[in-house]
């Protein structure tokens, strides 16, 4: 370390990299398209299925997972949601009877979200209308070349953040220490679910011994 004295002049911040006119138009168009698409999909699902687009995505993720179950931390990552936001969504889905929570038998700190049969039936009923809305709002408006370009652009942006551009089927490693802290945040919610569960359900009876 030198003996030079720091002054604002010796460490001036770089000039902002302002957007060009073309970049600005592209950025604003992207924001508008994302917002309008999400509004269209959310409106259709609320009208026809009584759920938000965010809730539909949670149900779809669970449906596409082995055993229709997924660790809460994996589910949050897949849906690009914070733990608190995902927990709120799952709480609502549990209240509807579409999802239930289960603890990992090997590590009680790990909590799984499980799609119930009722939730699966709701998803099956909602899927045709949702797919039609996706077609109407997106794919019917684009050429085949534009669809390919959109996919390539989207995959580039997602991969840039270290995510997977495809709907993954996460494999749950037996030694998942890195996920324990996130999963533990859902433990109290799982206990609350269990306290209100049917006493005849063996899994729910196991929860009753948890923290209260």
pLDDT tens for residues 104-128? 887 777 899 999 999 999 999 999 9
CB 187 within 8 A of CB 76: no
Average pLDDT of the segment spanning 42-50: 97
pLDDT at 211: 30
pLDDT band at 194 (very low <50, low <70, confident <90, very high): very low
- Is residue 131 predicted with pLDDT exceeding 80? yes
CB 124 within 8 A of CB 56: no
pLDDT band at 164 (very low <50, low <70, confident <90, very high): low
Query: b vs e for 70-99, b when ≥16 Cβ sit within 10 Å of the residue's Cβ?
Result: bbbbbbbbbbebebeebbebbbbbbeeebb
pLDDT at 143: 98
**Interatomic CA distance for residues 85 and 81, integer angstroms:** 6
Most confident of the ranges 4-8, 9-13, 114-118? 114-118
CB 120 within 8 A of CB 68: yes
DSSP string, 138-178: TGGGS-HHHHHHHHHHHHHHHHHTT--SS-------S--HH
Which CATH code fits 33-161+178-207? 1.10.10.10
**What global pTM score does this model have?**
0.70
Most confident of the ranges 3-7, 78-82, 90-94, 175-179? 90-94
Q: CA separation (Å) from 153 to 29, 80, 137, 165? A: 14, 18, 18, 10
pLDDT at 6: 52
What's the mean per-residue pLDDT of the chain?
Answer: 79
The domain limits of the chain are 33-161+178-207
């Amino acid at each position: 370390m030198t003996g030079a004295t720091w002054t604002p002049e010796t460490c001036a911040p770089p000039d902002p990299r302002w957007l060009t006119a073309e970049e600005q138009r592209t950025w604003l168009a992207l924001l508008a398209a994302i917002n309008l698409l999400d509004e269209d999909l959310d409106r259709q699902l609320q009208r026809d299925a009584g759920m938000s687009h965010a809730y539909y995505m949670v149900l779809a993720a669970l449906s596409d997972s082995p055993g229709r179950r997924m660790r809460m931390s994996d589910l949050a990552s897949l849906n690009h949601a914070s733990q608190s936001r995902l927990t709120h969504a799952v709480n609502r889905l549990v209240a509807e009877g579409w999802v239930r929570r289960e603890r990992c038998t090997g590590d009680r700190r790990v909590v799984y979200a499980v799609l119930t049969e009722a939730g699966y039936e709701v998803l099956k009923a909602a899927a045709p209308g949702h797919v039609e809305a996706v077609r109407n709002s997106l794919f019917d408006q684009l050429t085949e070349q534009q669809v390919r370009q959109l996919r390539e652009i989207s995959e580039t942006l997602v991969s840039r953040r270290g995510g997977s551009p495809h709907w993954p089927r996460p494999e749950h490693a037996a030694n998942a220490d890195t996920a324990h802290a996130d999963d533990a945040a859902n433990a109290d919610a799982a206990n609350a679910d269990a306290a209100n569960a049917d006493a005849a359900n063996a899994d729910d009876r196991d929860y009753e011994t948890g923290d209260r």
